[in-house]
Amino acid sequence: MSAAFSLYQSRDSGLHRLNPLTKMTIALSGVATSLIVSGVWGNYLLFLLILVPLSAWGQITYSFLRAVFRVVWPFAISIFLIQGLFWTDGTPVIDLGPLSFKAEGLLFAVISVGRILLLVGSFTLMTMSTRPDALMIALNQRGLPHTLSYVVLSAIQIVPMFQAKANKIVEAQQSRGLETSGNLLKRVRALLPLVEPLLLGSILDIEERAIALEARGFGRRVKPTSLLILKDPVWEKILRWAIVALVLALLAVRIWLW
């Protein structure tokens, strides 16, 4: 069976024990800060001085860095190439035949990649150290409808199972002589006999799943209780408000300096 479609890495660490709302506040403040900070190296410094130590606290540094760089490097290369080579009226610093890298373009690329790094890093840290169901339960307790959180959570677990089902259908059709390799046209044609069983099968699965959920009282209009205990000590509540205040202060400074 396939694993859940989630980046979560189970560890017994202080970061993992933080309330999901605290980690979400850190992630959202990381996103906001990445857009507020205007300096060339500011976002890189925040990544190195806040996110990397937090990942070390969570005992996930290696997998965290690997996941972040996997996402960031394709963006980084394309941004450096496009902004560096096609910056209009810039100062050439490296010549490549008819094209040249412009200093202003490269500077813009450094700033943009820094923003992406902090943004991706903030969310990766949260998803790697927070169980998705814990986050959703925390949000449910703050008023998020549990049907909405169900959609998010079931997608995380059920998408890989649908992928496995799709693979089975491909194998079944291949064993009956369906050609799935070759040029683009052949591959597109091969998709058609796969779509119908997957689509119809999935609709039937969804119907059964809805019945199974109703049989377990999912449709009841009462506020559900939870087996999972989410600790939320006072210091974490203060920390969350402090983070929000800090981001607002940064924003105010940025507007004032503008």
Partner 1 sequence: MVYLKNLTYRYPRGESDVLHDINLTIQEGQFFALIGPNGAGKSTLCYVLTGFVPHFYKGKLSGTVTINGRDVFDTPLPELAGVTGLVFATPFNQISGARFTVREEIAFGLENFALPREEIIDRTEKVMKLFNLTDLAERPPTALSGGQQQRLALASIIVMRPRLLVLDEPTSQLDPVSTHEVFSALDSLINQEHLTVVLVSHKLEWVAAFADRVAILDQGQIAADGPPEEILTSAELTIHGLTPTQFTAVSLMAQRTGLIDSKKALPVTLDQAVQFFK
Give the binding site for partner 1 (CB under 8 A). Answer: 1-4, 131-133, 136, 149-150, 153-154, 157-158, 160-161, 205, 208-229
Give the shortest CB-70-to-partner 1 separation in angstroms: 24
Give the shortest CB-162-to-partner 1 separation in angstroms: 10
b (16+ CB within 10 A) / e for 124-162: bbbbbbbbbbbbbbbbbeeeeeeeebeeebeebebeeeb
* Amino acid sitting at position 117: L
Q: Is 177 left (phi over 0), alpha (psi -120 to 50) or beta?
A: left
Residue 89 or 208: the one with the smaller Cβ distance to partner 1 is 208
* Amino acid sitting at position 57: W
Give the shortest CB-164-to-partner 1 separation in angstroms: 10
Give the shortest CB-3-to-partner 1 separation in angstroms: 7
What's the CA gap between 148 and 142, in Å, rounded?
Answer: 13
Residue 96 or 164: the one with the smaller Cβ distance to partner 1 is 164
Residue 175 or 225: the one with the smaller Cβ distance to partner 1 is 225
Q: Which two tokens stand for residue 16?
A: 């993992």
Residue 28 or 161: the one with the smaller Cβ distance to partner 1 is 161
Residue 3 or 192: the one with the smaller Cβ distance to partner 1 is 3
Give the shortest CB-82-to-partner 1 separation in angstroms: 41
From residue 105, give the alpha-carbon distance in Å to each of 2, 87, 101, 116, 180: 44, 5, 7, 16, 44
Helix (H) or strand (E) holding 194: helix 184-214
